[in-house]
A and B are shown apart, each in its own frame.
Chain A
Amino acid sequence: MGQTVAQKIIARAAGCSAVEAGSYVNVSPDYTCCQELSWQTRKRMMQEIGVDRVARPDKVIMVVDHSTSAGMGSPYYLSHREMKDYAFRNGVENFFGAGSGLRHLVLTEKGFARPGLLIFSDEPNIASIGALGALNISVSTEVIVTQITDENWMLVPKSARIELAGRLPFGVLLRDLAQILIRDFATGDTLSQCCIEFHGPAIAHLSLDERQSLLACAYHTGADTALMPVDEAALAYVQERAQERPYHLLSADPDADYVLETCYDLSTLSPMVTVPPDLHGAVKLEDVAGTRIDQAAVGSCAANRLDDMRAAAAILRGRTIDRAVTMYITPGSREVYVQAAREGLLEVFVAAGATVLAPGCTTCWGYEGALYDNEVSISTHQMNYHGRNGSRLARCYLASPYVVAASAVAGKISDPRAILADMGAGA
């Protein structure tokens, strides 16, 4: 039986020629990547084990991204300090402090995520690095095992193939497809413990930012991780940032085994809104249009790249947000922040009445922009369960940056296509 791309990546890290889907293997990943919020747990675990040393400092990446500002009253300033001290004591050069951006973006922008590499991280949404052909396997605080011993076990995921065909219609983003995939698969077992390999003619027309938005949401379909083919655009990005570090261009064997093969035609999609509290609760925007909102937020690993900033700005340029709405916009990294500044996007946001936050996870997990009882938000966040962004009585709708920005302007959930058409902008 032939091997999928995921199997080939894992086989290389396991030091063998092939691995079987569904089997357990011991691997030495190319990198581990972790954040600061779980530092206290990791520190305690290392104390219990009795080890304070990193086996391969060059393979460790540490990023402060969840608590970008160590505010008064927050316990996290201690984790910032201790994690930094630990990194420097161990010779870990790849420590990125508060405001650097999300692990997801640091991995791609700094050239760590390269084709054929296996990365053990502490978050499944880091599957976004699959846009460059790197495989994310989420192991949570267990990254310490790999940091201490340079190896750990993993389950070889089954693979599923989802073909993307057609072109996105005007005013529709790949985020809308992500919400549809979650609606279609999250409540079943089809993609459970799978790696989704996206392929098909549509991908060539999608920017790397858009691809990462979709991949960052893949875990919510029930899958463990996801990948996309490394095409010319992806390879050009990697070559620009790899700095002579190795990578491995891999493709699936023709007779590789997939538990599912299906196709989505992007041309049939329309703007979606996921209704709280279920992550699989996506409906057509029309079904909830007019719902009053108190807060709007663009950010999170699902929508904090330059294309997302441009999408929000396309709506907000020359407009002001409704006076009853608070709006937060969070660029995903320093690089995105700088580029958004160069393009004048930050000025658009501030002039419209939005608040630009420092690069990080910020509003997605409620560290900033917390909601009060019965408040309603619409955002590009990853989760919408009760209490995710503050009060358990708040309601959190999820949508694309277009829909979020259009809703902020109107003060209620609104279709972005009218504004985009009006401005001659859009898809």
Chain B
Amino acid sequence: MSDTPTSDTRMSDTRIRGRVWKFGDNISADDGIIQYSKVPDLATFDIPALKAMCFAELQPDFREQVKPGDLVVAGSNFGHHSHAHACVAMKESGVATVVVESCDSVFIRKALNVGLPIVVCPGVTRIVAQGEELEVDLATGEVRQPDTGARLHARPFSDRMIEVWRAGSLTAAMRRRLAGRGAGA
């Protein structure tokens, strides 16, 4: 992985490449990605607690084995009825992006707002297996399995979405945008 560009290396690069953790269909956000009922304090993000429960019921070795820059690939209806805690859990665990067969729009927003891109890419579960590499370009929507050369096209992120992802969070992007607006006024 060291010879491939990552999202951090160049600001102009919108490609993300990493090792895949693969999950099935209908993974619930509140009782799958995390156990929302076990979150100690809903008013804040308890990072150690959220990391400890991230995918713990589905892949018990995720917590120990996940590395910064890894990708999550999942099937249909990923993260239904989400609270932002599930997004924070994945982001803080080091997940660089999530590629799914389908999910609802508000989950994509919640994840992006904490800096985690979710790409809807029908067919992705057929081109990549657990532990394999996957490359995603947020700006073009291209999803590629580098070992097999298999390619798919997802809906590209808009400029506003890439702005949030680059800034690292919605609040960072808003701070920059409002500062820019203030300077221009």
Q: Identify the interface centre among A79, A145, A390: most chain B CB within 10 Å of its CB.
A: A145
> How far does the Cβ of A26 sit from chain B's closest Cβ, in whole Å?
8
Closest 3 CB pairs of A and B: A387-B37, A48-B171, A24-B158
B63 in the interface (beta carbon within 8 A): no
Q: Is the CB–CB distance between B31 and A24 below 8 Å?
A: no
Note all chain A residues with C-beta closer than 8 A to B77. 186-189, 192, 222
A209 at the interface (CB under 8 A from B): no
Is A37 a contact of B31 with CB atoms below 8 Å? Answer: no
Count chain A CB atoms within 10 A of each CB in B41, B120, B174 and give the residue with the most. Answer: B174
Q: Whole-angstrom distance from the CB of B168 to the nearest CB of chain A? A: 11
Q: Which residues of A contact B31 (CB under 8 A)?
A: 277, 385-388
Q: How far is the CA of A382 from the CA of B38 in the complex (A)?
A: 19
A279 and B80 CA atoms in complex are apart in Å by: 10
B26, B30, B103, B104 pick with most chain A CB within 10 angstroms:
B104
Assess whether B127 is interfacial by the CB under 8 Å rule.
Answer: no
One of B38, B102, B106, B161 near A192 (C-beta < 8 A): B102
Residue B155 is within 8 A (CB to CB) of chain A in the complex: yes
Given known contacts A40-B43, A40-B44, is B175 in contact with A49 (CB within 8 Å)?
A: yes
Which of chain B's residues has its CB closest to A50's CB? Answer: B175
B26 and A41 contacting across the interface, CB-CB below 8 Å: no
Interface residue SS majority, chain A? loop
Contact in complex: A37, B42 (CB < 8 Å): yes
Selected from B41, B103, B113, the residue in CB contact (under 8 A) with A142 is: B113
List residues of chain A with CB under 8 Å of any chain B CB: 22, 24, 26, 37, 40-41, 45, 48-51, 75, 79, 124, 138-142, 145, 148, 153-155, 157, 186-189, 192-193, 219-220, 222-224, 277-280, 366, 383, 385-388, 390, 392
Cβ contacts under 8 Å, A124 to chain B: 104, 106
- Chain A residues near B84: list those with CB within 8 A: 41, 140-141
B79-134, CB < 8 A from A: 80-81, 84, 101-106, 109-110, 113, 120, 122
Known: A189-B77, A189-B122. 18 other contacts (CB 8 A): A45-B170, A45-B171, A49-B174, A79-B43, A139-B109, A153-B158, A186-B77, A187-B26, A188-B77, A189-B101, A192-B104, A220-B80, A222-B104, A224-B104, A224-B105, A279-B80, A386-B35, A387-B38
Contact of A22 among B76, B122, B155 (CB under 8 A): B155
Please pick, from B25, B35, B81, B113, the residue contacting A141 in the complex, using a CB distance under 8 A: B113
Which B residues are in CB contact (< 8 Å) with A390?
Answer: 37
Q: Does B160 contact A142, Cβ atoms closer than 8 Å? A: no
User: If the complex has contacts A189-B101, A387-B36, are A75 and B41 also in contact, measured as CB distance less than 8 A?
Assistant: yes
For the complex, give the distance between the alpha carbons of A79 and B44 in Å.
Answer: 12
Residue contacts A-B, CB under 8 angstroms, 19 given: A24-B160, A79-B43, A139-B106, A140-B106, A142-B109, A186-B80, A187-B26, A189-B101, A189-B122, A193-B102, A219-B104, A222-B77, A222-B80, A224-B105, A383-B30, A385-B30, A386-B35, A388-B30, A390-B37
**What bracket does the count of chain B residues touching chain A fall in?**
35 or more
| Of the residues A139, A154, A157, A387, contact of B35 by C-beta under 8 Å | A387
**Is there contact, CB below 8 Å, between A50 and B178?**
yes
CB-CB contacts below 8 Å: B135-165 with A: 155, 158, 160-161
- Residue numbers in A under 8 Å from B41 (CB-CB): 75
Q: How far is the CB of A366 from chain B (nearest CB, A)?
A: 8
Task: Write out the residue numbers on chain A whose beta carbons fall within 8 Å of the beta carbon of B38.
Answer: 387, 392
- What CA separation (Å) do A223 and B81 show in the bound complex? 11
Interface residues of B in 27-80 (CB under 8 A from A): 28, 30-31, 35-38, 41-44, 76-77, 80
In the complex, A40→B44 CA distance in Å? 7
Q: Find the A residue at minimum CB distance from B38.
A: A387
Q: Which residues of B contact A279 (CB under 8 A)?
A: 80-81
Contact A224 B80 (CB under 8 A): no
- In the complex, the answer to whether A138 meets B106 with C-beta atoms within 8 Å is yes
A142 to B43, Cβ gap below 8 A? Answer: no
**Closest Cβ of chain B: how far from A74's Cβ, in Å?**
10
In the complex, A71→B102 CA distance in Å? 40
- How far apart sit A310 and B104, CA to CA, in the bound complex (Å)? 34
Closest to B174 in A: A49
- Docked-complex contact A193 and B36, CB < 8 angstroms: no
B102 touches A222 (CB 8 A): yes
Give the one of B30, B158, B171 with max A CB within 10 A: B171
A192 to B26: give the CA distance in the assembly, Å.
12
Q: B4-35: contact bitstring with A at CB < 8 Å (1 yes, 0 no)?
A: 00000000000000000000011010110001
CB distance from A223 to the nearest CB of B (A): 8
- State whether B105 touches A193 (Cβ < 8 A): yes
In the bound assembly, the distance between CA atoms of A45 and B170 in angstroms comes to 8
Q: Which residues of B contact A24 (CB under 8 A)?
A: 158, 160-161
Neighbouring A residues of B161 by C-beta, 8 Å: 24, 153
* Complex CA distance for A145 and B112, rounded to whole angstroms: 14
Query: In chain A, what residue has the closest Cβ to B36?
Result: A387
| Residues A49 and B160 in contact in the complex (CB < 8 Å), given A140-B110, A141-B84 | no
Given A142, A189, A223, which contacts B76 in the complex, CB threshold below 8 Å?
A189
Residue of A nearest to B175 (CB): A49
Q: Which residues of A contact B26 (CB under 8 A)?
A: 186-187, 278, 280
**Contact, CB under 8 Å: A193 / B120:** yes
Cα A386 to Cα B53 with chains together (Å): 15
A377 to chain B, nearest CB (A): 14
Task: State the CA gap A133–B76 with chains docked (Å).
Answer: 29
Is the Cβ of A145 less than 8 Å from the Cβ of B174?
yes
